[in-house]
Amino acid sequence: MNKQTLQNQLVLIGIVLLTLLISRFEFFNSERSFMFAILLLIIYILFQEVSNVKKNPDSIFLRTIPGLKAVEEAVGRSTEMGRPILYVPGIMDMNEVETVAGVIILGHVANMTAQYETSLDVPVSRSIVMQAAREACKESYLRQGRPELFNDDMVHYVTDEQFAYAAGVNGIMQRSKPAACMYMGKFYAESLLFAETGNGIGAIQIAGTASQAQIPFFVTACDYTLMGEEYFAASAYLSEKPELIGGVKAQDTFKIFLIFLIGLGFLARMLFDLDILSFNLVELIG
Q: Is 161 helix (H, G, I), strand (E, B) or coil?
A: coil
Strand locations in 38-153 (E): 85-88, 120-124
Question: What CATH architecture applies to the domain 66-239?
Answer: 3-Layer(aba) Sandwich (3.40)
Nearest one of 279, 246, 264, 281 to 49, comparing CA atoms: 246
Share of the chain above pLDDT 90, in %: 48
Distance between CA atoms of residues 77 and 85, nearest Å:
10
Write down the pLDDT at residue 185.
Answer: 93
Nearest to 194 by CA among 87, 62, 271, 285: 87
Residues 227-255: what's their mean pLDDT?
Answer: 81
pLDDT at 186: 94
Single-letter amino acid code for the residue at 66: P
pLDDT tens, position by position, 173-222: 999 999 999 999 999 999 999 999 999 999 999 999 988 889 999 999 99
pTM (two decimals) = 0.78
Domain boundaries, given as residue ranges, for the chain: 3-59+242-285, 66-239
- Model confidence over 88-97: pLDDT tens digits? 999 999 999 8
Q: Is the pLDDT of residue 1 over 60?
A: no
